[in-house]
Structure 1
């Protein structure tokens, strides 16, 4: 249970202070062990923003619907209601400035205002999305007919460059979309067309690093597990946003409550970008259910088995079957922390 207090402060109390001064003020207030929101900050470019200084996230929150006109008292009340439903402060503030049927707010990655996302590009569908850890495994899944693949080598060694070169060449020959996990600079140097980065990686890059990633022009996939992560991811105009873990997973040690099909369907309905499902997807039935939410991609790691050529046709049929029986999205998500 979250026992931290959320304090919502009207920016008018800091009359005469520039918007750039307010994050430092919020950090001072947060040192008292509370989450802080300095609400209704009129930025120099005319945008109405709220500075979030919470345990799990900080940044400028910009509502895209009726939440932009919320009075401070109303924002605080809606945030308290979300807290009472079990959401942490960062997610509660997102829900406070959002209503079902409206676009999600944007959340900045740092102290610069959030970057408005660009319209999604028209790209081939993700479909069955295989995650592999070697060029040899990549060749197996390509031979089985998978056309969206991620190479994820978490403990790189002297073979990393050669492995990536082989994966890039094999995917180009097969006409497959390849996303390189983590190693974005080497991927760009070697001519890769896509990368996948986690939220912590993107935070560590800072404003200049994130700008450098976007300047490469590579397709970008971004992980998300919570509402605030989804709002931040959207500002990078990614090729897709991953929603997970849908089911409990042992592939990664994570603190998140599984999203379930309800949250996955909600993600699809509000993300404004293609969504791929990931986490704990091992069985044919799970592929069908994940596809029924409208997720454009379904990520498979261990579920590909020892011989993907035997498994992939069955998984692809399940994906198509799920798409023929779409499930409705709930009005609200459930907490994931």
Structure 2
């Protein structure tokens, strides 16, 4: 059995390769490209641009949802929601050597995720989020401790309403990484806020596998 994946404690999520090119050079080491509702040719172009930026700056790229394109474009990680997991070819993902991250929102989804033997698990929303409408109430940081006990050595990602100021709470409850979208992309100065995140997570940073 391979050693557990090591994730950077700062997990940036953006929706275009432009954001990747804008923020990764500042020192981001883990970024997810969450591109929605694009034609396949444009999705592929976005993934390629993001991958090139990440390769130049020693940053890990996670592709959201589009596992086939992640395999074809030689990406390292893919992140799937529960519905996407049901339709995905997990064998193909594993054979390609692509690491798999899964979203969870309740105990049933956690059980489903663990059956799929992922490389990391995400729990959210920890706090209310303005990113999208959610069917689940905020989990609160305390729930992270329950997930931490349930998943053993797998990396645990906290997502939903996480800000720089809230980082101590999620790490204290067992999260290995904190995912962020709007606290950076809707900030008046995304570059300055990104630097704040990098500085604030330095204490928990380890070298990746």
Shorter-chain TM-score above 0.5: yes
1:15 aligned partner: none
**Which secondary structure does the structure 2 equivalent of 1:159 belong to?**
helix
What is the CA-CA distance between 1:267 and the residue it aligns to?
A: 1.0
Structure 1 contact 126–276 (Cα < 8 Å) conserved: no
1:159 aligned partner: 42
1:187 aligned partner: 70
What are the superposed Cα offsets for residues 181-213 of structure 1, whole Å, 9 maximum, x if unpaired? Answer: 0111111111111100101111234xxx23223
What is the CA-CA distance between 1:320 and the residue it aligns to?
A: 5.0
2:174 aligned partner: 294
Structure 1 contact 144–308 (Cα < 8 Å) conserved: no
Structure 1 contact 128–299 (Cα < 8 Å) conserved: yes
RMSD over aligned Cα atoms:
1.8
Q: Say if 1:269 and 1:120 are closer, same or farther in 2 by CA, change over 3 A.
A: farther
1:69 aligned partner: none
Comparing 175-184 with 249-258, which one deviates more in the overlay?
Answer: 249-258
Greater share of helix: 2
1:235 aligned partner: 115
Q: Which has the higher contact order (CA 8 A, sep 6+)?
A: 2
1:216 aligned partner: 96
**Separation in structure 1 between the aligned mates of residue 55 and residue 74 of structure 2, nearest angstrom:** 10
What are the superposed Cα offsets for residues 61-97 of structure 1, whole Å, 9 maximum, x if unpaired? Answer: xxxxxxxxxxxxxxxxxxxxxxxxxxxxxxxxxxxxx
Report the number of matched residues.
Answer: 200
Q: 2:59 aligns with which of 172, 176, 190?
A: 176
Runs of 4+, deviation exceeding 4 Å: none
**Separation in structure 2 between the aligned mates of residue 145 and residue 307 of structure 1, nearest angstrom:** 16
**Separation in structure 2 between the aligned mates of residue 121 and residue 224 of structure 1, nearest angstrom:** 22
| Residue ranges of structure 1 left out of the alignment (5+ in a row) | 1-118, 324-337
1:299-310 → structure 2 map (5 Å cutoff): 299-304=179-184, 305-310=187-192
1:128 aligned partner: 10
Structure 1 contact 276–296 (Cα < 8 Å) conserved: yes
Q: Does 1:280 align with 2:151?
A: no
Structure 2 contact 28–198 (Cα < 8 Å) conserved: no
1:145 aligned partner: 27
Compare CA radii of gyration and give the structure with the larger one. Answer: 1
**Separation in structure 2 between the aligned mates of residue 120 and residue 235 of structure 1, nearest angstrom:** 17
